[in-house]
A and B are shown apart, each in its own frame.
Chain A
Amino acid sequence: MKPSAKMAKLVPLLAVFFYLVCVSEAVFEDQVGKFDWRRQYVGKVLFASFDSPSQSSKKLFVATDKNIFASLNSRTGDLFWRHVDKMGPEGAVDTLLVNAQDALMVIGDGRLLRSWDTNVGGLNWEVVLDTGSFQAACFVGIQDTVKHVAVLKKTAISLHYLSNGHQKWVENLPDSDTVKYQAVYSGGGEEVFVLGMVPHSHLTITVYSLEDGEIIRQRSVEAPWLSSVESSCVVVGRGVLMCVDNYTQALYTLAIQAEDSPQFRQVLLQSLDLEVSQDFQPVLVSTQPHPARSPLPEFFLQLGPDHHILLQLSEDGSTIAPLRDFQPVFTNTRACAVNLFSADSGRRLLDTTVIFPLDANGGKPQKLYVHAFLKKDDSVGYRVLVQTEDHALTFIQLLARSRVVWTREEALADVVTMEMVDLPLTGTQAELEGEFGKKADGLLPMVMKRLSSQVILLQAWMAHLWKLFYEARKPRSQIKNEVTIETLSRDEFNLQKMMVMVTASGKLFGIDSKSGTILWKHYLENVQPNAAFKLIVQRTTAHFPHPPQCTLLIKDKDTGLATLHVFNPIFGRKSQISLPALPRPILQSLLLPVIDQDYAKCLLLVDDQYKVTAFPSTKNVMQQLQEMASSIFFYLVDSEQGTLSGFRLRKDLSSELIWEVVLPTEVQKIVAVKGKRPSEHVHSQGRVMGDRSVLYKYLNPNLLAVVTESTDTHPERAFVGMFLVDGVTGRIIHEAVQRKARGPIHFVHSENWVVYEYWNTKSRRNEFSVLELFEGTELYNSTVFSSLDRPHLPQVLQQSYIFPSPITTMEATLTEKGITSRHLLVGLPSGAILSLPKMFLDPRRPEVVNEHSREENLIPYAPEMPIRTEWFINYNQTISRLKGIYTAPSGLESTCLVVAYGLDIYQTRVYPSKQFDVLKDDYDYVLISSVLFALFFATMISKRLAEVKLLNRAWR
């Protein structure tokens, strides 16, 4: 806490008292997991594979778009282990091949070949492959044992031993500049087939010897209809290449192992009574159950989006016969059925139907990964991993009874933005609150009202006691302590909140902040993958009986058009509110403190003609807007043009440009702009100096921190700029340029300070810099703040420090009233979150200590910033690929709720000034109360004894 006056010199005395109450800041061992939780995710699954073909295996391997290779427990859905590779194309998984104990991965467009031990998740070996873009890879096996892996690149093919990764041979592909090699195949023989083609001309088959990589033969087959081997050809049966062509509406077969010059044989689809749907590119799917054996002669032909045909190639490869026509119709949006069919005959197997309910708020199934096995009684069982459009994974098992075993919400691996919303009050609490909300109508009715609400409270308490008593008699296992939406209510200190998370896939989640349980989810269809999101809380829970209301602004990057999704953040339900029509691209939005008669704040949407649309746009709001129009300003930052422009709203909801600042894009680029958080409270308006005078803070609510980076990245000439601009007038309050520095810049703008972190290219280290703004020893106007009436520029103090680690993100703690001192939460690349006291980032830290600075409790300046291990708030719960930290105040002034998200989600509480307003967690109630009772009884007894003694003395 900040001692706000010197009278607060008494504070040390009190501090001693507090110190007895709360001693520690770090988490004790027994507190692990008490206030915090972590959920680990892997991302959207690209490749999935089951462990072994037995029933007992419980491992599942997935490789995802987040460059992660992980093993899941198929019984619970938990992670066994997870390997997180580099972000971006460098770590992208090209393919995953699993064979017995080995899982092979080609990574980074054919940069690396890795083999993992599937049992423990350890790396067997890793080899760096020759340069060249990756095309295909397959296992090569002879006589049922797989010993090699072949990797086909654009210009070369290489064969590696499976045991140690050593390269057996590498051969350049002939004519690789004209021929596109796209597939590699091995049917369990001594040969490796490489398929290449010249589009619309011919197909080439190159056969390599497994032993030494010599070209055994080379064939060229006329195929003027062929445009891509990858997309239209598969190998079926014993080395028969099957291709499909949309233009000629025919299947083409070719025996690739044939010695003499082969020819494609055309089978018209019409002859099989098949027809391709309009505008659909037919796709072939074949299955190779074991890499050392040839693929099955049965294969699928997809003729339409929902239309598949199972076809069978006869033994000699001459005839194709359709086995079964699959035309599932998605009429029922509530449930899906999975059936198992025999590949030989196309018949449905009995008792293999699994019906699993589809979440109404989820996406449609996209892909199935099936694992069929023989049960002990020789009947067939299977497991299915269903991947849906919303990146959710559902695991279904058919054993004794079919059921959904678990569901993983992998969309949460990519959280874009989030908000925390207070939970609603319970009925009784609302009753009590409502009492104060109602208008006073005389003394007696007020008393009656108070009495009635007290009676209701008493009733609720009795009911609670009865419930406790009733449950105490039940066995412990029956009591479920699960959180459901129905039982949700605000706790005493408002520590439990609803986390509303928006993910990049367009799925929204409502998560209970105390337990991490997903309470609701809602999938928004038709959200572009690169859409921009902005989540706004329009109405909080405070306006009972009006439900809270959140609005999500989704902007399509391609068209620029925006849509609004209005929902109730507690239940996730879409609100039935008429939305404004948004025919023009939306540039920005701003939330006004103007409320309509239903207590919803007004949201203004600015379109590309700088006209404004209000939502909600009731008459009440429009009237208020017209009255206030002259004091509503907004700013837009266009980083491509390098302009900052400020606008003022007119009464007709158009706007006028009032200022513009141009930062030439040839020199520097605007990277980020941040204002202050509107929910922030600043308790103290100034700082107390050593001589007991006050240095008043410059608390301009309209201040913007604009960060620029130089376009020149040469270490000697690179620079980083920090501009403090008034968002109303466009006045540049301060300008700080850090020479020989470059980004990425992470910064926090709060109260009267800006903290930013950059890379110093000269000294090659990370540095923190802090800017603090003060008005001076006198306030210009203590009652109102207007940017238009500020003749004096603030005093700016700056100091820089060396930080021993790079950082990934930064945020400041936030508390209810702003009395508690601030900490910076710094996310490190290691996945740790450091809670750094703002006290260390104070430009008034003196180089020479004197009486005054000691009086102010200023730490002497030291260029190095320490990292103390007890400052890590997430102990060993590291957060992979930390992307953002969100802070929210709780009902307790000492406590700030923190959510860190990235690949994982972590929630905890921090106490920047320790827990000064609440008894600590392990407060010994039993000891204290027993001592109290013991003393009470001792007093009673000794009082009695003393009375007896006095009486006896009186008789003497």
Chain B
Amino acid sequence: MASPGGQGSGALSTRGGVARRMKWALELSLGNTRGRGDRQSNQGDVMYPIGYSDKPVPDTSIQETDKNLVEKRCWDVALGPLKQIPMNLFIMYMSGNTISIFPIMMVCMMAWRPIQALMSMSATFKLLENSNQQWLQGLVYSVGNLLGSALAIYKCQSMGLLPTHSSDWLAFIEPPQRVEIMGGGMVL
């Protein structure tokens, strides 16, 4: 291992006056190396600590319970969005329908999170890969997210942010074309 010159010379400086002239030196013995320990494991010819074995030890005792745990974990993931709904409802109630910066931020968060989650569905499916009820869980997960976004839309609606009234489309009405041409005035 190449050790930086400054440190190397520091190590060598105890050896005597002859070694002093050398700018750097490569130490091939491993005994008093001060290099970082984690790099040692990369090298094949390192000495392993006591009790270390190269061969993997097969584990067979707890297969059943692990399967249940995975299943449980997957359901947790799938039910996550649904569990958030009561919380969201509470926040919605608390923030009110006035338009100010905080309710707007909350609504944005509420709308954005389910969308984000729905967009990264593939990643979630990868999580649920090991489960038997993968498809059911996926469905529950997406339903939960959809419910969350529906809730956000409802909030937008109650805040009046949705263009559902005729007044919201008023700006797009073109002025009507006039059919007759008219002019005149007082007799000059």
Question: Known: A7-B163, A13-B101, A638-B187. Is A788-B180 also a contact (CB below 8 A)?
Answer: yes
Q: Given known contacts A637-B187, A685-B173, A686-B170, is B160 in contact with A728 (CB within 8 Å)?
A: no
Could you give, for residues 93-104 of chain B, a 1 whenever the CB lies within 8 Å of some chain A CB and a 0 otherwise? 000000101000
Instruction: Name the B residues within 8 Å of A699 (CB-CB).
Output: 175-176
Among B179, B184, B185, B188, the residue within 8 A (CB) of A586 is B188
Closest chain B residue to A630 by CB distance? B180
- Is there contact, CB below 8 Å, between B176 and A782? yes
Tell me the complex Cα distance, A587–B183, Å: 12
Assess whether A209 is interfacial by the CB under 8 Å rule. Answer: no
Instruction: Check if B166 is an interface residue, CB within 8 A of chain A.
Output: yes
Cα-based distance from A407 to B131 in the complex (angstroms): 99
Q: For the complex, give the distance between the alpha carbons of A777 and B188 in Å.
A: 40
Interface residues of B in 110-149 (CB under 8 A from A): none
**B171 in contact (CB, < 8 A):** yes
Asked if B165 CB lies within 8 Å of chain A CBs, one says yes
Residue of B nearest to A16 (CB): B101
Q: Is A867 among interface residues, defined by CB-CB distance under 8 A?
A: no
For chain A, residues 603 to 632, give those with C-beta under 8 angstroms from any C-beta of chain B: 604, 606, 628, 631-632
Q: Which residues of B contact A635 (CB under 8 A)?
A: 182-185
Instruction: Kindly report which residue of chain A lies nearest to residue B186, judged by CB atoms.
Output: A637
Check B180–A728 contact: CB distance below 8 A: yes
Given A9-B99, A9-B161, A588-B187, also A701-B170 (CB < 8 A): no
Question: B177 near A: Cβ within 8 Å?
Answer: yes
Q: Whole-angstrom distance between the alpha carbons of A584 and B57 in the complex?
A: 119
In the bound complex, how far is the Cα of B187 from the Cα of A532, in angstroms? 10
Which residues in B have their C-beta under 8 angstroms from that of A634?
182-184
B186, A692: Cβ atoms under 8 Å? no
Q: Is the CB of A6 within 8 A of B185?
A: no
What's the Cα separation between A683 and B173 when bound, in Å? 9
- Residues from chain B with a CB closer than 8 A to the CB of A532 are 188
* In contact, B163 and A593 (Cβ under 8 angstroms): no
A633 in contact with B165 (CB, 8 Å): no
Question: Which residues of A are found within 8 Å of B169, using beta-carbon distances?
Answer: 5
Query: Which chain B residue lies CB-closest to A683?
Result: B171
Contact digits for B3-22, partner A, Cβ 8 Å, 1 yes 0 no? 01000000000000000000
Tell whether A591 pairs with B182 under 8 Å between CB atoms, given A685-B175, A692-B165, A693-B165.
Answer: no
Please give the distance in Å from B106's CB to the nearest CB on chain A: 15
A4 B165 Cβ-Cβ under 8 A: no
**Which residue on B lies nearest to A678, using beta carbons?**
B183
Give the residues from 150 to 174 in chain A that come closer than 8 angstroms, CB to CB, to chain B: none
Residue contact A590 to B166, C-beta cutoff 8 Å: no
- On chain A, the residues within 8 Å of B185 by CB distance are 588, 635-637, 673, 675
Q: Which residues of B contact A588 (CB under 8 A)?
A: 183-188
Nearest Cβ on chain A to B49's Cβ, whole angstroms: 27
Quick check: is A799 within 8 A (CB to CB) of the other chain? no
- CB of B45 within 8 A of chain A? no
One of A5, A12, A589, A632 near B181 (C-beta < 8 A): A632
Cross-chain contact B183 with A10 (CB below 8 angstroms):
no
Q: Is A44 part of the binding interface, using a Cβ–Cβ cutoff of 8 Å? A: no
* CB pair B180 A631 closer than 8 Å: yes
Complex alpha-carbon distance, A548 and B99, angstroms: 51
Min CB–CB distance A592 → chain B (angstroms): 6
B175 touches A784 (CB 8 A): no
Q: Taking each of B169, B175, B187, which has the highest tally of chain A beta carbons within 10 Å of its own beta carbon? A: B187
Contacts of A12 in B (CB 8 A): 99
What's the nearest-Cβ distance from chain B to residue A790, in Å?
Answer: 11
CA A591 to CA B175, docked complex, whole Å: 21
Q: Which residues of B contact A685 (CB under 8 A)?
A: 170, 173, 175
Chain A residues with CB below 8 A from B41, complex form: none
Residue-wise, chain A 560-602 has the 8 Å CB interface mask toward B (1 for contact) of: 0010000000000000000000000011111111000000000
Residue contact B183 to A693, C-beta cutoff 8 Å: no
- Which of A638, A689, A783, A788 is within 8 Å of B167, CB to CB? A689
A785 touches B177 (CB 8 A): yes
Q: How far is the CA of A631 from the CA of B181 in the complex (A)?
A: 6
- Tell yes or no: B178 within 8 A of A by CB: yes
Asked if A40 lies at the interface with its beta carbon under 8 angstroms from chain B, I say no
In the bound complex, residues from chain B placing their C-beta under 8 Å from that of A786 are 178-180
Residues of B with C-beta under 8 A to A781: 176
- A593 to B181 Cα, complex, angstroms: 8
Contact A590-B183, Cβ < 8 Å, known A6-B167, A692-B160: yes
List B contacts of A10 (CB < 8 A).
99
CA distance A682 to B175 in the complex (A): 8
A693 near B187 (CB under 8 angstroms)?
no
| Contact call B177/A784, Cβ cutoff below 8 A | yes
A534-565 interface bits toward B, Cβ cutoff 8 Å, 1 = contact, 0 = none: 10000000000000000001010000001000
Q: Which of B4, B169, B181, B184 has the most CB of A within 10 A?
A: B184
Does A785 lie within 8 Å of B178, measured CB to CB? Answer: yes
Residues in chain B near residue A702, CB distance under 8 A: 178, 180, 182
A675 partner residues in chain B, CB cutoff 8 A: 182-183, 185
Partner of B171, one of A591, A670, A684: A684
- Number of B residues contacting the other chain (C-beta, 8 Å)? 29
Q: Given A685-B170, A784-B179, are A727 and B184 neighbors across the interface (CB < 8 Å)?
A: yes
Q: Is A787's CB within 8 Å of the partner chain B?
A: yes
- With A588-B188, A638-B187 in contact, is A692–B176 under 8 Å at CB? no
Q: Is B168 an interface residue (CB 8 A)?
A: yes
The reply to whether B168 and A7 form a contact with Cβ atoms under 8 Å apart is yes
Contact indicator A694/B170 (Cβ below 8 Å): yes
Across-interface contacts of A783 in B (CB, < 8 A): 174, 176-177
Neighbouring A residues of B171 by C-beta, 8 Å = 4-5, 683-684
A169-195 CB mask vs B (1 if < 8 Å, else 0) is: 000000000000000000000000000
Contact of A738 with B by CB under 8 A: no
Shortest distance between the CB of B34 and any CB in chain A (Å): 13
Q: Would you give the 0/1 interface string for B64-103, flagging 1 where the beta carbon is closer than 8 Å to chain A?
A: 0000000000000000000000000000000000010100
Cα-based distance from A643 to B186 in the complex (angstroms): 10
A728 near B167: Cβ-Cβ < 8 Å: no
Chain B residues lying within 8 Å of A672, measured Cβ to Cβ, are: 186
Residues of chain B within 8 A of A636, CB atoms compared: 184-187
The residue from B160, B173, B188 contacting A782, defined by CB atoms under 8 A apart = B173
Asked if A415 CB lies within 8 Å of chain B CBs, one says no
Docked Cα-Cα span, A639 to B101, in Å, equals: 60
Question: Are B183's CB and A591's CB within 8 A?
Answer: yes
Min Cβ gap B96→A in Å is: 14
User: Is A688 among interface residues, defined by CB-CB distance under 8 A?
Assistant: yes
With CB as the reference atom, state the residue of chain A lying closest to B161: A7
Q: Which of A587, A684, A728 contacts B170 (CB 8 A)?
A: A684
Q: Mark A759-794, 1 if CB is under 8 A from B, else 0.
A: 000000000000000000001011111111000000
In the complex, the answer to whether A784 meets B181 with C-beta atoms within 8 Å is no
- Contact check, B182 vs A639: say whether CB atoms are below 8 A apart: no
Q: Chain B: which residue is nearest A700 at the CB level?
A: B178
Chain A residues positioned under 8 Å from B173 (CB to CB):
685-686, 779, 782
**CB-based contact A633/B181 at 8 Å:** yes
Known contacts A4-B167, A6-B165; decide if A784 and B183 are in contact (CB<8 Å). no
Q: Which A635-690 residues have C-beta < 8 A from chain B?
A: 635-639, 670, 672-673, 675, 681-686, 688-689
Q: What CA separation (Å) do A701 and B178 show in the bound complex? A: 7
Task: Evaluate contact between B188 and A5: CB separation under 8 angstroms.
Answer: no
Query: In the complex, what residues of A have CB within 8 A of residue B167's CB?
Result: 4-6, 686, 688-689, 692-694
Chain B positions near chain A (C-beta within 8 angstroms): 4, 99, 101, 160-161, 163, 165-171, 173-188
12 A-B pairs in the complex with CB atoms less than 8 angstroms apart: A6-B165, A7-B163, A588-B187, A628-B181, A633-B180, A638-B186, A638-B187, A682-B175, A685-B173, A688-B170, A699-B175, A781-B176
Beyond A785-B176, A955-B4, 20 additional contacts (C-beta under 8 Å) are A4-B167, A5-B169, A7-B163, A588-B183, A588-B187, A590-B182, A632-B180, A632-B181, A634-B184, A675-B182, A681-B175, A686-B173, A689-B167, A692-B167, A702-B178, A727-B184, A784-B176, A784-B178, A785-B179, A787-B182
Ranked nearest first, the 9 interchain pairs of A and B with the lowest CB-CB distance are: A590-B183, A5-B168, A786-B179, A634-B184, A692-B165, A635-B184, A688-B167, A785-B176, A4-B171
